[in-house]
Amino acid sequence: MGEYDSDLESRLTTSPSDSHDLPAPELVTSLPPADERRSQDWDLAAGASNYLVLIGGHALGILCSLIAAWIGTRILGPSGYGHLALLLAASLLLMMTANWTAPSVVRFGVKEFVDTGRVAGTFWTRSAALGVNLLIVLATSPLWLRPLTSLVRIPLFLAPLLLVHLTAAVLWYHMQQSLVSAKLPKVNATLLTLERVIIVVVLSVLKVTGVASLRTVVATYIATSIVCALVAVVVLRRMIFPWAGIRMPLLGEMLKFSAPLLPASLVSYFASSYLDSFFIARFMTAAAVGVYAIGYQFAGAIMMAAILGGSLLQPFFISVAPEMQAQRMRLFATRVLPVIALGWSVLCVIGAAIGGHLLVLVFGARYDGVVPVLWPLMACVAIGGPVVAGYFPIAYATSRTHIVAINSIVAASTNVVLDLVLIPRYGLVGCAWATVFSYLAAISVTITLSDRAMGTRTAWTGIAALPAVGAAVVAMDHGPLVAIGAALALAALILAIRREPLLEGVSILDRVVRRRRAGTE
């Protein structure tokens, strides 16, 4: 790889406006905001501020989610909160059957936005596909709704609300993807935060007035999704109206792009905490589901920091001129991503050490079972971070969605088998370790397929997750302090072995940041 590294670094840190197919810099700065976002230069120039807003909004969202969970447990108790978690899990499973074309909105919407300044063609074409999928799911509900609620132990009286929640959640997610395709990540982050704030406010009112119940709590989640989706329509109105019709050639491309994602979306569910919840409910109790849901919610909130980074990278990779796209992706994967992965792994260890005791402090002694569970869950976050922040955005931007599909199949099959083996014997901790092993299997396959597609070697990106995995192992018998020490020792060892490539990655990140700062002064 040495023959192209220096050239790639100069390309990454060179302003994309130097490319022959872009307007001159002085013209770009004079464009209206919507047109300015169409330039690939905007993704780098606004990248830091976009990410800070996303992280800030997400931090507030985490706080609101914890408050909402705290209020929910006080209103419903562990069993009631477990039933709420099971309903949300069932809704997500059903969403997979209707939402499998969602990633195509960003893949083709960004391209349309760069070319025209609108996303109407992509929006309405995908809306048609979504409408057909959702209609099929709802129309067939008399056949599967009662067996599903019985299987996952959801009270039958919640069955109609499950369908309503499904519809609201699907439409809201479609609008989120549309905002990303129009390069409006700050608006998307604001609305996601607003959703959580509204939930907290409404749940607080329900608790104070004494009219809270499982029905009203579920209805709160439904109403907030609908409100935020409507606000997104108002924001995007000039980019999606007037109606652009259904573009059949585009529909064909979107379906071809999304085809591997249909089985992947269904199968990936079986690697998630939602399936874990069903197994826990089967082998343990609804209260145990509530404990696990609290831990997984914390870990998922941390994982969102990596997902948000990936959400900014995908539009950038799509916007880059075709002749530069492969080179920038290879440099990012071989030099920048390993640095991010190693730092991310150490941060996950700190999160595990602090998070478990924080959750017990917030939710009470009844949830002390979350402490040993959080160590392996945060190891999962360390393993999955490079995937969602690097490998997946590259796969989506290059239409290699089969990599995402294979990742999901490997993770899901491993998780199902290990859940059946480990949960009856080791309980919640066994469930968490089943997820760790499924993530390890999946990232191994993902790295292999991605390296083959890009012509690179990025195995050290996966190895960078070892500090978090090692800490989770050590924490089982020796406590958090020894676990942190073990993680730092492993991180130091990796740094010593890969010192030059890692320092080169740090240098590249530093140059990009310095160039962006210089461009804004």
Summarised one tens digit per residue, pLDDT across range 105-124 is 999 999 999 999 999 999 99
Residue 303 resides in a domain = yes
Domain total of the chain: 2
Kindly state the average pLDDT of the residues 254-261. Answer: 92
pLDDT of residue 32: 43
Query: Where is pLDDT greater, at 316 or 168?
Result: 168
On whether both 278 and 350 belong to a single domain, the answer is yes
pLDDT for residue 140 is more than 70:
yes
Q: Cα–Cα distance between 500 and 483 in angstroms, integer?
A: 27
Amino acid sitting at position 44? L
On whether both 275 and 222 belong to a single domain, the answer is no
CA-angle at 453, arms to 449 and 454, nearest 5°: 120
User: Which segment of 288-292, 341-345, 460-464, 468-472 scores lowest on mean pLDDT?
Assistant: 288-292
On whether both 53 and 97 belong to a single domain, the answer is yes
Residue 10 resides in a domain = no
Of the residues 259, 293, 308, the one at which a domain ends: 259
**Can you read off the two tokens belonging to residue 234?**
């108002």
pLDDT of residue 23: 35
Radius of gyration of the chain (CA): 23
pLDDT for residue 519 is more than 80:
no
**Can you read off the two tokens belonging to residue 491?**
């991180």
Query: Where is pLDDT greater, at 140 or 33?
Result: 140
Of the residues 259, 289, 311, the one at which a domain ends: 259
Evaluate whether 494 touches 488 at the Cβ level (below 8 Å): no
User: Average pLDDT of the chain?
Assistant: 87
pLDDT for residue 24 is more than 80:
no
pLDDT for residue 158 is more than 50:
yes
- Domain carrying residue 413: 266-514
Residue 468 resides in a domain = yes
On whether both 331 and 437 belong to a single domain, the answer is yes
Residue 163 resides in a domain = yes
Q: Cα–Cα distance between 25 and 23 in angstroms, integer?
A: 6
pTM over 0.85: no
What phi and psi values does residue 321 have, to the nearest 5 degrees? Answer: -55, 140
Cβ neighbors of 184 (< 8 A, separation 6 or more) are: 37, 235, 236
Kindly state the average pLDDT of the residues 483-512. Answer: 91
Residue 139 resides in a domain = yes
| Whole-number percent of the chain with pLDDT over 90 | 60
Alpha-carbon dihedral angle through residues 138, 105, 48, 307, given to the nearest 10 degrees: 50
Query: Where is pLDDT greater, at 278 or 236?
Result: 236
Residue 300 resides in a domain = yes
On whether both 247 and 293 belong to a single domain, the answer is no
Give 202-271 as a DSSP string: HHHHHHHHT---HHHHHHHHHHHHHHHHHHHHHHHHHHH-S-----HHHHHHHHHHHTTHHHHHHHHGGG
Query: Coil, helix or strand for 503?
Result: helix
Kindly provide the b/e burial profile for residues 1-39, where b requires at least 16 CB atoms within 10 angstroms of the residue's own CB. Answer: eeeebeebbebbbebbbebeebeeeeebeeeeeeebbbb
Helix (H) or strand (E) holding 24: none
On whether both 216 and 307 belong to a single domain, the answer is no
Q: Cα–Cα distance between 245 and 121 in angstroms, integer?
A: 7
Residue 11 resides in a domain = no
On whether both 89 and 224 belong to a single domain, the answer is yes
- Residue 117's CB: how many other CB atoms inside 10 A? 16
On whether both 303 and 425 belong to a single domain, the answer is yes
On whether both 374 and 305 belong to a single domain, the answer is yes
Of the residues 259, 289, 320, the one at which a domain ends: 259
Residue 519 resides in a domain = no
On whether both 54 and 92 belong to a single domain, the answer is yes
On whether both 168 and 221 belong to a single domain, the answer is yes
pLDDT of residue 484: 96
On whether both 182 and 50 belong to a single domain, the answer is yes
